[in-house]
Amino acid sequence: MEVGSRIYVPVSVIETKISKRFDTIPSGTLYPNADEIEYLQRLVMYKDSAIIVLNKPPKLPVKGNLPVHNSMDALAEAALSYGYEQGPKLVHRLDRESSGLLLMGRTKESIARLHWLFSDVNKAKSPLKTWNDACETTTQRYWALVIGSPREKQGRICAPLSKVLLNDGKTERVILANPSGVEASQEAITDFRVLGPMINGCTWIELCPLTGRKHQLRVHCAEALGTPIVGDYKYGWYVHKKWKQMPRVDIEPTTGKPYKLRRPEGLDVQKGSVLSKVPLLHLHCRELILPNIAKFLDILDRKSQNLPKFSSRPDVLRFVAPMPSHMKISWNLMSSYLV
């Protein structure tokens, strides 16, 4: 730009302030309405002065692009300020189709600390030992239902990822990086553990990402382990074409008697589960462990000689989110096969 240049700014950028009268938000704008705001507030699992933790449902986008207005960041700006001048900001993301724990920072200080905590760079140690210990406990655990079963019961996947454009020139896809390829790649590391035996061709596994790459867990499951996640048609479409729909259970899992639940003809009460013809993505961020940011923020910037004494145990927060309904149905159904 040069001095004197004329700049035309879209209305959506100019109107950055969210109206405080949430119940009168005009339906013609991109701002969330009262129902959406109330819905998001019911998803909050935990709130303190530094963070907000939500249990995100599947199909709700995290980061919105025009004309998508019902994304988590747009809704949070309007619904989750709770007296603060600004709403909370995302510090990590979940895919639109994924569900589970989503962490947001409420202040500039907490957002900076959380971005640092979830970054992949080598982190400098703090003079505060309890903070260092708490940071080392930081963990994200996902549960996923995959087609097939990994060869090993547990292990670590170290498989860099690259992004490529498909033939249409618009669609982006993440693939395992070719060591001899020219595409740029990023380090991607995932720990996995099998949770149970394979049932009807599917296995429940636990995934712990040690890096935060786009579609990392989905690509590692589909291409590194050879077991795509149920409902992941982007990276497991070929396996889904050959996969047979799970048969309906006809007996009660505890008594062995005929199944009492009856459904009207044509009504799919198992929508999205392994009983469905088109299952939803079975990937859920179930557990999150992180330092108690609110307690540490006041002391992290102090000089080492003024640091207070803490307990020898790390001061951490742990959250566990229940699975969405389609995954609960699949879990209960497959558990019945184990009886």
β-strand pairing of 154-158 with 189-194: antiparallel
Give the per-residue SS3 of 200-223: CCEEEEEEEECCCCCCHHHHHHHH
> Which residues, 6 or more positions from 316, have their beta carbon under 8 angstroms from its beta carbon?
134, 137, 289, 290, 291, 292
Contact 192, 205 (CB under 8 A): yes
DSSP 22: G
Contact 104, 54 (CB under 8 A): yes
Catalytic residues, by residue number, are 95
Residues paired with 316 in a beta bridge: 291
